[in-house]
Amino acid sequence: MSQIETFYEVMRRQGITRRSFLKYCSLTAAALGLGPTFAPKIANAMETKPRTPVLWLHGLECTCCSESFIRSAHPLVKDVVLSMISLDYDDTLMAAAGHQAEQSLEDTMKKYKGEYILAVEGNPPLNEDGMFCIVGGKPFLDQLKHAAKDAKAIIAWGSCASWGCVQAARPNPTQAVPIHKVITDKPIIKVPGCPPIAEVMTGVITYMLTFGCIPELDRQGRPKMFYSQRIHDKCYRRPHFDAGQFVEHWDDEGARKGYCLYKVGCKGPTTYNACSTVRWNEGTSFPIQAGHGCIGCSEEGFWDKGSFYDRLSNIQQFGIEQNADQIGMAVAGGVGAAIAGHAAVSAIKRAQHKGEQES
């Protein structure tokens, strides 16, 4: 393994100064929520450890994850991580193309067997033997399984790889499935979102590159450092929620005053993501700050839960799409009517039989 360069060597070769390198280390420590004492540790790890290669595959997807990733707030993070990744394989970003690109995938897999991280953007469709997504002349499904075989760990980028997202939404004609349905023997780190936040993506990957292990995951396989809380838990409009001050219509006084968007269907209370803390586009804003409710893009099956403007899911089984309240009220109404009818008949019967029974 000694012939493999360290991160530091790669960075220096890319023309990054030592000063910038140290700055990168302390920024990374901060982004990961680690104390400043961790900066030297990160620096040390990067100087001594051979760098971990990353292979980045693209299945059925829209490339929004890549688009988000290259917009990471700190250019250094982006440049460093990106340049390191493009050394290996990312068919969208790398210089090589065609057979040359496929060859470099094979080379990296062979050279770093059991050492590389596999990052997957998008997901494999299973229908028609995977023919709905072809990469390099073969079904993506095959490429995914092939590349996963010798990977150390796997990152599922975005809601597509994590949950299925739009291509897996009902009726899912291509039978697209999240990657954990086809890769069952490797640790998978889910980084959901449509797309995930850039800083979350670089944070996760930097953590794995520096510490050589996967971050702590929650029950559903998401890194706890970014997905342990709901949008609602850290939303700056939360005081209006607790006070009972809501936007009732999009054009009302409450909307102008920045009240809570709960009643217009904000999914913040049921969505685990870092938007309300990290925000988007270099921390500029996030949907709720712009006046629109969260649509729950990082949650499983968010396309199939009904309108973006209703909090409760539609329940499709009832034919016409309805939510829990509509169904409950209809049934309760029916039961109430039945009770009233039954009570009326009971009263009549009782009046009729009164004489007989008392005697």
Partner 1 sequence: MTTAVNKQQTATADSQATRDAGLIKRRQTAVYVYEAPLRLWHWVTVFSVLTLCVTGYLIGSPLPTLPGEASDNYLMGYIRFAHFAAGYLLAVAFIGRIYWALVGNSHARELFLVPLHRVQWWREAWHEVRWYLFLEKTPKKYIGHNPLGQCAMFFMFVLGNLFMIFTGFALYGEGLGQDSWADQLFGWLIPLLGQSQGVHSWHHLGMWYLIIFVMIHVYVAVREDIMSRQSLISTMIGGWRMFKDDRPD
Rounded-to-integer distance, Cα 76 and Cα 81, Å? 8
Binding range to ligand SF4, per CB under 6 A, among 96-104, 141-149, 198-206, 233-241: 233-241
264 binds ligand SF4 (CB under 6 A): no
Please, which residue, 131 or 343, has the CB nearer to ligand HEM? 343
Whether residue 132 contacts residue 126, with contact meaning beta carbons closer than 8 Å, is answered with: no
Binding-site residue total for ligand SF4 (CB under 6 A)? Answer: 25
In eight-state DSSP terms, residue 308 is T
State the helix-helix crossing angle for 18-31 and 198-211, rounded to 10 degrees. 110
Q: What angle do CA 98, 102, 105 make, to 5 degrees?
A: 145
Centre a 10 Å sphere on the Cβ of residue 108 and count the other Cβ atoms it contains. Answer: 20
Cα Rg of the chain, angstroms: 27
272 binds partner 1 (CB under 8 A): yes
In eight-state DSSP terms, residue 166 is G
Please pick, from the candidates 43, 85, 168, 235, the single residue that binds ligand SF4 as defined by CB under 6 A: 235
Q: Lay out the site mask for ligand HEM across 251-270 (x = CB under 6 A, - = otherwise).
A: ------------------x-
| Residue 123 beta carbon to partner 1: minimum distance, rounded to whole angstroms | 18
Please, which residue, 312 or 315, has the CB nearer to ligand HEM? 312
**CB within 8 Å of 173: residues ≥ 6 apart:** 127
Residues in the chain: 359
Please pick, from the candidates 300, 308, 309, 321, the single residue that binds partner 1 as defined by CB under 8 A: 300
In eight-state DSSP terms, residue 152 is S
295 binds, among ligand HEM, ligand SF4, partner 1, none (CB under 5 to 8 A by kind): ligand SF4
Write out the H or E segment, with its range, that includes residue 189.
strand 188-191
Whether residue 223 contacts residue 191, with contact meaning beta carbons closer than 8 Å, is answered with: yes
The footprint of partner 1 on residues 225-264 (CB under 8 A) is 228-230, 233, 239-246, 248, 254, 259, 262-263
Whether residue 6 contacts residue 48, with contact meaning beta carbons closer than 8 Å, is answered with: yes
Q: What is the largest CA-CA distance in the chain?
A: 108
Amino acid at site 288: I
Binding-site residue total for ligand HEM (CB under 6 A)? Answer: 2
301 binds partner 1 (CB under 8 A): yes
| Residue 195 beta carbon to partner 1: minimum distance, rounded to whole angstroms | 19
Rounded-to-integer distance, Cα 196 and Cα 274, Å? 9
Binding range to ligand SF4, per CB under 6 A, among 1-9, 57-65, 80-88, 255-263: 255-263
| Residue 342 beta carbon to ligand HEM: minimum distance, rounded to whole angstroms | 16
Please, which residue, 132 or 241, has the CB nearer to ligand SF4? 241
The footprint of ligand HEM on residues 304-343 (CB under 6 A) is 312
Nearest 10 degrees: Cα torsion 127, 128, 134, 140: 50
Centre a 10 Å sphere on the Cβ of residue 340 and count the other Cβ atoms it contains. Answer: 10
323 binds partner 1 (CB under 8 A): yes
Q: Would you list the DSSP string of 227-253?
A: HSSBGGGG-TTHHHHHHT-B--STTSH
Binding range to ligand SF4, per CB under 6 A, among 25-33, 35-43, 62-70, 230-238: 230-238
| Residue 262 beta carbon to partner 1: minimum distance, rounded to whole angstroms | 7
Nearest 10 degrees: Cα torsion 267, 270, 271, 275: 60
Binding range to ligand SF4, per CB under 6 A, among 33-41, 139-147, 259-267, 337-345: 259-267
Question: Taking CB positions, which residue lies at the least distance from ligand SF4?
Answer: 268
Q: Where along the sequence are the contacts to partner 1 (CB under 8 A)?
A: 218-220, 224, 228-230, 233, 239-246, 248, 254, 259, 262-263, 267, 269-272, 296, 299-301, 305, 311-313, 315, 323-325, 327-329, 331-332, 335-336, 339, 342-343, 345-346, 349-350, 353, 358
Q: Where along the sequence are the contacts to ligand SF4 (CB under 6 A)?
A: 193, 231-232, 235, 237-238, 241, 260-262, 266, 268-269, 271, 273, 275, 286-288, 293-298
